[in-house]
A and B are shown apart, each in its own frame.
Chain A
Amino acid sequence: MNKAQTWEYSPAPESTDHIQLKDRYDLFINGEFVPGVEGRYFDTINPSNEEKIAEVAEAGKADIDKAVSSARKAYDKIWSKMLPKERGKYIFRIARLLQESAREFSVIESMDGGKPIRESRDIDVPLSSAHFFYYAGWADKLEYAFPGRTANPLGVAGQIIPWNFPLLMAAWKLAPALATGNTLVLKPAETTPLTAMKLAEIIQEADLPPGVVNIVNGAGETGKFLVNHGDIDKIAFTGSTEVGKYIMKSVAGSGKKYTLELGGKAANIIFEDAAIDQAVEGIVNAIFFNQGHVCCAGSRLYVQEGVAEEVISKLQKRMESLIVGDPLDKNTDIGAINSKMQLNKIKKYVKLGKDEGGTIYQSSCPLPEKGYWFAPTIFTDVSQSNRIVQEEIFGPVLAIQTFRTVDEVILKANNSPYGLSGGLWTDKGSKIFKVTQDIRAGVIWANTFNKFDPASPFGGYKESGVGSEGGIEGLSGYVNLV
C-alpha cells in the first residue's frame, strides 16, 4: 500500500504590509513626540535577523526632568481633579484602540522582541487591552475596592519595564496608575521600545490630556535618572532582582513608594499520580513559553521518581516537535532570544551546567543562521547545589531533579531566594491544597501553568518582589488610603 510520507509545514508568515513604523521615534513628553535634549538616538534591532528596525531617542537627565515636570503639571492641574468616571472613559478608549490595532501591535512586538506571533497575537496583545478594560472599570469604583476608606492618588509614578513582555508590562503599569488618578513617566526596555511608542500614538489618538502619560526611552542610566528624581512619588519596576535591590537602596528614606516585580526560579512539580501527557505539555509551556524569558517560568522541574523516566523521555520527544524559527511564522513555537547580551548569558549558564556535571539534552531542531537563537534545553543529574538550579537563567533552559515524598519536594521548592510562582501536577485535589499552602510563592498553578488574568494579582515573596500587580491588589500600589 501507500508508503508513509514526510509532510512538512510550508512557511506561513504573518504579513507585515499593514504595519506602520517610522524610521525614528522621539520621546513622548507632554502629549507630543519631541527629540531628546542631547539629540542622541540608539537603534532597536530585530533579534531574529539582527537588522535595524528604527532608531529611538535616548532620554538624558534633562529629558527626565521635562517628563517628570509635565507629569506633575498634568497631575496637579487636570488628572487628579478629573471626575473618576471621566478618567475611566479615557482608559476604556485606550483599551478599545489597542484592540482595534491588535494585529499591528502583535507583528511589531514579534519583530522588536523576537517572540512568536502566536504568543504576541494570542497572549500579549489581548491581555494588554484586557488590562486596560479591567482597570478602566475600577476608576469610578475605588470606594468598593477599599470599603470605608478614601483612596487618594500618590502623584507622579516612575515606571520601568522589562523587555520580555514589552506591551503587556506597559499595560500592567499604566492601567492601574491611571485608574487611580496618578500621572506617570514610563521607561520601556532599551531592546524593545517600539510597542510602547505605538502605544504613545494611541494615547495621543485617545486624546488623553498632555502630560498624563510620558514615555521616555533609554537604558540603565536613563532609568537611574528616573528612580532618583526628586519629584517622583512612586517607583514601579519590573526586571532583575539586582536592579530591584539598587532601587530599594536608592529610594530608602526618600518617602517614595515602590512596587517591585523581580526574578524567579519557579518549582514545577510533577507527582506520580498526575495526568502525564498533560503535565509534559505543562512543562513545555512553563519553561519554553516566550523563549523562557519569563520571570515566573517553571525553570526548576521536580519529578517524582516513579514517573521520572517516563516524563523525561516524553519531554524529550515533545521537544523534538517544537518549531524554532521566524517569530512571524504562525507555526513558530519558539522565537528568537531577545538580545545578544541575553544569548551570551544563557550560553554562559549552559556551559556552567555542563561543567558542573549536569546531563544536557537539546532539541535537534535546526536554528536559523542569522539572529540570536537557542535550542530548547534540559539538564538532568543536577541537584539543589548546582548554580543552574539556583540562579535565574531567563532562557529556554530547564533543570530537572527527582524527588520521593511530598515533604521533600516542598522543602526543595522553598529552598530558593525567589518566590514568585510555582506549579504542581496531580490528579488528587487534597494534595493540591497541601502543596499550594506550603510553598511560598505569589502564584501557584495547579495542573496548568502561565495563566494570566487582569483580575488575578501577581507578585512575589522574598527576592521576587514587593507588592502585587493585577486585581484589586494592583490598585493599592497606587493609592494612599485615608
Chain B
Amino acid sequence: MFLDKLLYAKPIDQIGAQERVTRLFSRSIKKDSKVQALHLALSMIDLTTLEGKDSPGKVKQLCYKASHLHDSFPGLPNVAAICVYPTMVAIAKKALAGTGIKVASVATAFPSGMADMHAKLDEVKSVIDAGADEVDMVISRGKFLRGDYQYVSDEIAQVKDACGETHLKVILETGELVTLDNVRLASDIAMESGADFIKTSTGKVSPAATPPVVLTMLEAIRDFQTKTGKKIGMKPAGGIGQAKQAIQYLVMIKETLGHDWLSPDLFRFGASSLANDVLMQIVKQTTGQYQSKDYFSID
C-alpha cells in the first residue's frame, strides 16, 4: 500500500523552503516577459465567488465578466473557469454557454468537509448532473490530523470515482494542516488517490496559499511526475490579489516544474480580485500609464 511508504516521506525544512521562495521571488520580470506573464496569469484564473450571500444575479454578472474582462482593450484572453457553490452551477453553466469557460463547483461540504460520505458523494453527483466541468473537493482535515490517512485517501478515491471524467481538484486546506511536512504528505496522498489538481485552500481559513506551501506542493507534483509520469495540476487559492504575486508564482512554476505547467490545463489561480489588478498592469504595460481603478469593472 502506498500509504506505508508515504509515512516515511522526506521532511521539509521550513527555513530552507522560505529561502528558496525568496530567491525565486526576486527574479526581475520586465518588458515582453512581463506582458506575456500577465496574459498567461489572466488565462489561468478561476474567477471565484463563494459566499453565503451569492445569488443568481451575482453569479450571472460574474459570468459575463469572465468572458468580457475589459472590452475596451482587445486581445485579452478569457479566464479559465468560474468557481461557485453547487446551487449556482446550473446558472453559471447557462450563462457561460459557448464561451469555452469552465464551470467549477466546490463540493463535499465545502469549506469544512464535515459531512458523512454519502452526503458528500450525493453532492458531487448533483453538481456533475448540473453540468459542472470541475469539482473542487475538500479533504477531512480532522481525520488527517488524527493520522487517519487511509480515510482521507479513501474519500478522495471515492469522490474521483463519482467524478468520472470530470476534473477533480483536491483542496488540502493547508492553513489547517499547519506544517510543510503535513502539506507534503497530504499532497502525496491526494495525487496517489486520484486528484487531477491539488489546491491549497478554501479561502475561508487564514493563512491561505502561502509561498512555501505552494512551493512544497509543486515539488510534490514534480516528484510524482518523476515517479509515475503523470502530470498533476496545481491551484493556489486565497490571498492572491496582485499581479506581482501572480508573476512570482509563474516564476516558481517555471523553475520548479517547467514550461508544461505554464498552462490553464495544469495551473490555476483561485481568486476574486486578481483579474482586475492583472488587467490594470496589462493596460499600463501597453500604454505606459495606469488607468484609474474605476475603469475596471467590479462583478
A5 touches B11 (CB 8 A): no
Query: Known interface pairs A9-B33, A10-B32. Does A2 touch B13 (Cβ–Cβ under 8 Å)?
Result: no
CB–CB A2/B17 < 8 A: no
B26 A118 Cβ-Cβ under 8 A: yes
User: Of A3, A273, A282, A313, which contacts B11 at CB under 8 A?
Assistant: A273
| A219 interface residue per 8 A CB criterion | no
**A86 contacts partner chain B, Cβ-Cβ < 8 Å:** no
Nearest A residue to B215, CB-CB: A277
A428 CA / B270 CA spacing, docked (Å): 37
A254, CB-defined interface residue at 8 Å: no
Chain A residues near B278 (CB, 8 Å)? none
Chosen A-B contacts, 6 in total, with CB atoms closer than 8 Å, are A3-B263, A4-B265, A5-B262, A7-B33, A9-B33, A12-B28
Q: In the assembled complex, how far is the CB of residue A331 from the closest CB belonging to chain B, in whole angstroms?
A: 5
A415 within 8 A of B: no
Taking Cβ atoms with an 8 Å cutoff, the residues of A that contact B are 1-12, 118, 273-279, 281-282, 313, 321, 330-331, 427, 447-448
On whether the beta carbons of A447 and B13 are closer than 8 Å, the reply is yes
Q: Is the CB of B265 within 8 A of A2?
A: yes
Tell me how far the C-beta of A326 lies from the nearest C-beta in chain B, rounded to whole angstroms: 12
Cβ contacts under 8 Å, A448 to chain B:
15-16, 19
Task: Determine the chain A residues whose CB is within 8 A of the CB of B43 once the complex forms.
Answer: 2
When the two chains form their complex, are residues A275 and B26 in contact, meaning their CB atoms are under 8 A apart? Answer: no
Interface contact A4-B260, CB-CB below 8 Å: yes
Q: Verify B13–A1 contact, CB threshold 8 A.
A: no
Q: Are B259 and A10 in touch, CB under 8 angstroms?
A: no
A4-B266 CB under 8 A given contacts A10-B33, A278-B12: yes
B266 touches A275 (CB 8 A): no
Closest 9 CB pairs of A and B: A278-B16, A275-B13, A12-B28, A330-B28, A4-B263, A10-B33, A278-B13, A10-B31, A427-B11
Min CB distance, B155 to chain A, in Å?
Answer: 28
Residues of B within 8 A of A330 (CB): 26-28
Within 8 A of A (CB), among B73-127: 77
User: How distant is B142 from chain A, measured CB to nearest CB, in Å?
Assistant: 26
Contact A275 B16 (CB under 8 A): yes
Q: Across the interface, which residues of A come within 8 angstroms of B261, CB to CB?
A: 4
How near does chain B come to A128, taking the closest CB pair, in angstroms? 20
CA gap between A282 and B17 in the complex, in Å: 11
For residue B20, CB closer than 8 A to chain A, the reply is yes
* Residues of chain A contacted by B13 (CB below 8 angstroms): 275, 278, 427, 447
Contact of B37 among A4, A7, A279 (CB under 8 A): A7
Q: How far is the CB of A311 from chain B (nearest CB, A)?
A: 10
Please tell me which one of the listed residues A7, A274, A276 contacts residue B40 in the complex, with CB atoms under 8 A apart: A7
Residues 151 to 210 of chain B near chain A (Cβ within 8 Å): none
Known: A12-B30, A427-B11. 12 other contacts (CB 8 A): A2-B263, A4-B259, A4-B262, A7-B37, A7-B259, A9-B28, A277-B17, A278-B19, A279-B16, A281-B16, A282-B16, A331-B28
Question: Which of chain B's residues has its CB closest to A317's CB?
Answer: B222
Given A7-B254, A9-B27; A1-B265 close (CB under 8 Å): yes
Cβ of A8: which chain B residues have Cβ within 8 Å of it?
33
Q: How far is the CB of A206 from chain B (nearest CB, A)?
A: 31
Q: How far is the CB of A363 from chain B (nearest CB, A)?
A: 14
Contact with A along B29-47 (1 / 0, CB 8 A): 1111110110010010000
**How far, in whole Å, are A11 and B13 apart by their CA atoms in the complex?**
32
A365 to chain B, nearest CB (A): 13
Question: Is B294 an interface position by the 8 A CB rule?
Answer: no
Interface residue from B19, B32, B37, B259 paired with A6 (Cβ < 8 Å): B259
A277 B12 Cβ-Cβ under 8 A: yes
Complex: A447 Cα to B12 Cα, angstroms: 11
A12–B31 alpha-carbon span in the complex (Å): 9
B16, B26, B36, B264 interface centre (most CB from chain A within 10 Å): B16
Would you give the shortest CB distance from A398 to chain B, in whole angstroms?
Answer: 19
Contacts of B26 in A (CB 8 A): 118, 330
CA distance A208 to B20 in the complex (A): 41
Interface centre among B10, B12, B36 (most CB of A within 10 A): B10
Residues of chain B with a CB closer than 8 A to A279's CB = 16
Cα-based distance from A321 to B262 in the complex (angstroms) = 15
In angstroms, how far is the closest chain A Cβ from the Cβ of B222? 8
Instruction: For A277, list chain B residues within 8 Å (CB).
Output: 10, 12, 16-17, 20, 219
Within 8 Å of chain A (Cβ to Cβ): is B71?
no
- Given the known inter-chain contacts A7-B40, A274-B10, A331-B28, please indicate yes or no for A1 contacting B16, CB distance below 8 A: no
Which A residue's beta carbon lies closest to that of B265?
A: A1
CA distance A11 to B263 in the complex (A): 23
A282 cross-chain contacts in B, Cβ below 8 A: 16
Contact among A2, A118, A281 for B19, CB-based, below 8 A:
A281
Question: Would you call B260 and A275 a contact (CB within 8 A)?
Answer: no
The distance in angstroms between the C-alpha atoms of A321 and B254, with both chains bound, is 9
B250 contacts partner chain A, Cβ-Cβ < 8 Å: yes
Partner of B264, one of A1, A11, A12, A278: A1
- Residue B51 CB within 8 A of the other chain: no
Q: How far is the CA of A427 from the CA of B33 in the complex (A)?
A: 39
Contact check, A447 vs B37: say whether CB atoms are below 8 A apart. Answer: no
Indicate whether B4 reaches chain A with its CB closer than 8 angstroms.
no
From B20, B28, B226, B266, contact of A278 by CB (8 A): B20
Contacts of B219 in A (CB 8 A): 277
- A3, A4, A10, A273: the one contacting B30 at CB < 8 Å is A10
CB-CB nearest in chain B for A1: B265
Please name the residue on chain A nearest to B102 by beta carbon. Answer: A1
A319 CB to nearest B CB, Å: 12
Question: In the complex, what distance in Å separates the CA atom of A279 from the CA atom of B259?
Answer: 24
